[in-house]
Amino acid sequence: MPLPYLPDTTVDLISLPRELSTSIQRDFASEEAQSAWFANYVHTHIIDLAYQREDDLIIVPGNAETYYDVNYARYNNVNYRDKWIYAFVDRVEYIDDDTTALHFTIDVFQTFMFQYTLGASYIVRSHMTQSTSYINTVPEGLHYGDVYRCVHQAHVQQAQGVRWAIITSTVSYTTAEPADRAVSGIPDGLYYYLFALNEQGKSIQLNNNTPPDLDEFLYAIQHSSTFTNTVVSVNVLSMIPFAVSGTSAGVTVNGAGSNLTLQSELGEGQIFLLNSMTTNQYFNITTVSNKYAHFPDYEETKLLRYPYSFIKITNQKGGEMIVRPEYINGSSFTLRVIGCVGMNPKTASFVVDYLDASEFNNLQLALIDDNVSDVPVLNDYMASFIQSNKNALQNKEKWAGINRDVTAYTGLISGAVNMGTGLLTANPMQIVQGIDQGFNSSVSAVKNYQQTIETMNAQLKDIDNIPPNIRQMGGNNYFELNNDITGLYIQWWTITPENADRLSDYFHMYGVKCNDLSVPNTTSRRDFNYIQLLQPYIYGEIPKQFMDQLITQYEAGITIFHNDNIGDYSQSNPEN
């Protein structure tokens, strides 16, 4: 008959300075390290006890007052399994002066730490990598405020101090003819001229020539007979789809191929004749070396993602485009402008390789600017109407004067003849009639002339009352000039500091929402990792009742500390 096992169960009653729980735990590299760490906090070591069951009660000798600071325990039924079972002490109960009952719950995380493996599972939340190359845009469902702040603005221009005027004309102003009067292969009967302008208060050199400013340019086209009744439209732009290089001391314009021909015949600064206008002409207006450089130095990089942070590109004229930095390919980005010049110029600005878009798709993600500033241009038909009426009135006035003089002179001559005949025949009545006839003819001629002039003045008044009819209303060029609105503006926007601090603290403690199916990484951070799984896949040699409890812990969310500062979230917790 086999001998019965002798009582040989060991119980350690432990007083942890920082309590563990089902939601806050500490991990170890090995069972030896785990056992040694708990041994440091043993309050009472008891041996040779009877077999300890996996229920919720440990009976130990001694008065309950002795164990009120005990918050943890472990036991080992050496004669049976020789494994430490770790447990939370929930309550210390007085039995009698010499006996105490400790109510406990098995800590399945510590007990089976080295007996299970986390497989690929659906990760709800976790501390992820802090690399800016990692894209996590899963909505958190957290309030981040209704107000954003602009933390930096970069004003980018094609050529500082230079604006451009596009004159569309019905006639050629020079002896040169365009090499190809077509837009993207479509025949065009108009002529297009590019004029460089100096911004007020700035002095530039364009191809070693000093361009006029806007005032001088407008005065020239309004007072030069070259432009009379030939201008279809005049548009003022800050960017053109041609290569422009140099500084304000010496700017150079280079046409793509033979698209531009330098003309010097107009004498109003440098002018370029556009030979062929294609819609695929472009230039890179700027390259930003680090897309995140101007955002705050957030500890949790998810705050660098949309909707917490974004880049806005605007022309300050009502057009703007939101760029999500996480979808810019690489750490730097290039801002490209494409377009064409003509009667209705248009430009499209976009970030190259944004969302891995092709050149065609880039246009769908571009800032389209067709709100160009233009100069009022009088309609040709209205000018012709006024001119034709002016000529008719001038002709009518001339013949009214001639008729007045002929009528007056004819009446005076006829009256003088009658008066002379009366004198020769000594007929007083005929003399009086002659004088009266000459007088009446002169008065009638003057009255008819006066009536004609009054009719002409009435017609002129009617012309003045005709509503103005213009081809082009004109934009607010002076507003843009006075406020230096040119080119494009790149702005870095982010949430307000109070919201950023609140979210940063939350992400620091509980990681970020992932909604990702992968193998969880519980040691990606130096100090602690938070992880929450949905129906996690866990396998290992664990009794089912305890496996279910372990699954429940991971589903509720658990923070695993890697050092003795358990529960201390002020640790910087960088990546490993």
Are 409 and 365 contained in the same domain?
no
Average pLDDT estimate for 263-286: 58
The radius of gyration of the chain's CA atoms, rounded to the nearest angstrom, is 47
Answer whether residue 473 is part of any domain.
no
On whether the CB atoms of residues 301 and 127 are closer than 8 A, the answer is no
Q: Give residue 470's pLDDT.
A: 43
Residue that is last in its domain, among 407, 436, 468: 468
Answer whether residue 568 is part of any domain.
no
Pairing verdict, β 558-561 and 24-26: parallel
Answer whether residue 35 is part of any domain.
yes
Average pLDDT estimate for 259-283: 53
Answer whether residue 330 is part of any domain.
yes
Q: Give residue 474's pLDDT.
A: 46
Q: Give residue 205's pLDDT.
A: 63
Q: Give residue 31's pLDDT.
A: 96
Are 374 and 384 contained in the same domain?
no
The token pair that represents 459 in the structure block: 């017609």
Q: Give residue 212's pLDDT.
A: 74
Q: Give residue 552's pLDDT.
A: 97
Residue that is last in its domain, among 443, 460, 490: 490
Answer whether residue 51 is part of any domain.
yes
The token pair that represents 495 in the structure block: 């949430």
Q: Give residue 458's pLDDT.
A: 64
Half-sphere exposure of 157 (CA within 13 A, CB side): 17
Of 75, 79, 80, 7, the C-alpha closest to 44 is: 75
Answer whether residue 506 is part of any domain.
no
Q: Give residue 291's pLDDT.
A: 95
Cβ-defined contacts of 135-139 (< 8 Å, 24+): 135/305, 135/326, 135/327, 136/302, 136/305, 136/512, 136/513, 136/514, 137/305, 137/306, 137/324, 137/326, 138/512, 138/513, 138/514, 138/515, 139/513
Q: Is the pLDDT confidence value at 347 over 70?
A: yes
State how many domains the chain has. 4
Confidence of residue 356 (pLDDT cuts 50, 70, 90): confident
Are 124 and 259 contained in the same domain?
no
Are 374 and 456 contained in the same domain?
no
The token pair that represents 328 in the structure block: 């810019």
Residue 437, domain extent: 380-468
Top-ranked range on mean pLDDT: pick from 120-129, 460-469, 480-489: 120-129
Are 485 and 525 contained in the same domain?
no
Give the number of other CB atoms < 10 A from CB of residue 330: 10
Round to whole Å and give the CA distance between 184 and 339.
Answer: 12
Question: Among residues of the chain, what percentage have pLDDT more than 70?
Answer: 66
- Global pTM reads 0.74
Q: Give residue 160's pLDDT.
A: 75
H or E stretch covering 89: strand 85-96
Round to whole Å and give the CA distance between 572 and 528.
Answer: 10
Are 110 and 165 contained in the same domain?
no
Which residues, at least 6 apart from 20, have a Cβ–Cβ distance to it below 8 Å? 26, 72, 88, 107, 110, 566
Q: Give residue 384's pLDDT.
A: 44
Are 13 and 73 contained in the same domain?
yes
Q: Give residue 381's pLDDT.
A: 43
Which residues in 127-184 belong to E strands, given as ranges? 148-156, 162-169, 182-183
Q: Give residue 432's pLDDT.
A: 59
Give the number of other CB atoms < 10 A from CB of residue 465: 7
The token pair that represents 60 in the structure block: 């130990």
**DSSP, res 206:** B
SS3 content of the chain, % helix, strand, coil (to 5): 25, 35, 40
Average pLDDT estimate for 46-51: 86
Mean pLDDT value across the chain = 79
Answer whether residue 150 is part of any domain.
no
Cβ-defined contacts of 127-130 (< 8 Å, 24+): 127/511, 127/512, 127/524, 127/525, 127/528, 127/529, 127/530, 127/531, 127/573, 128/511, 128/512, 128/514, 128/524, 129/524, 129/575, 130/299, 130/300, 130/301, 130/574, 130/575
Lowest-confidence region among 3-7, 25-29, 556-560: 3-7
Lowest-confidence region among 235-249, 326-340, 447-461: 447-461
Backbone angles phi, psi at 138, to 5 degrees: -65, 125
Q: Which residues, listed in sequence order, are joined to residue 283 by a DSSP beta bridge?
A: 337
Q: Give residue 282's pLDDT.
A: 76
Confidence of residue 225 (pLDDT cuts 50, 70, 90): low
Round to whole Å and give the CA distance between 327 and 350.
Answer: 13
Q: Give residue 471's pLDDT.
A: 44
Are 171 and 290 contained in the same domain?
yes
Are 329 and 457 contained in the same domain?
no
Residue that is last in its domain, among 459, 490, 521: 490
Are 406 and 349 contained in the same domain?
no
Are 201 and 318 contained in the same domain?
yes
- Using left for φ > 0, alpha for ψ between -120 and 50, and beta otherwise, residue 414 falls in alpha
How does pLDDT run across 52-79, given as a tens digit for each residue?
888 789 999 999 999 999 999 999 998 7
Are 171 and 74 contained in the same domain?
no
Which residues, at least 6 apart from 127, have a Cβ–Cβ distance to it below 8 Å? 511, 512, 524, 525, 528, 529, 530, 531, 573
Round to whole Å and give the CA distance between 469 and 300.
Answer: 61
How does pLDDT run across 411-444, given as a tens digit for each residue?
656 656 566 665 666 666 665 565 665 556 665 6
Buried b / exposed e along 406-425 (16+ C-beta atoms within 10 A)? ebbeebbeebeebbeebeee
Top-ranked range on mean pLDDT: pick from 279-283, 367-371, 430-434, 445-449: 367-371
The token pair that represents 382 in the structure block: 């209205």
Answer whether residue 242 is part of any domain.
yes
Q: Give residue 115's pLDDT.
A: 96
Residue 470: burial class (beta carbons within 10 Å; 0-12, 13-18, 19+)? exposed
Residue 131: burial class (beta carbons within 10 Å; 0-12, 13-18, 19+)? exposed
Confidence of residue 14 (pLDDT cuts 50, 70, 90): very high
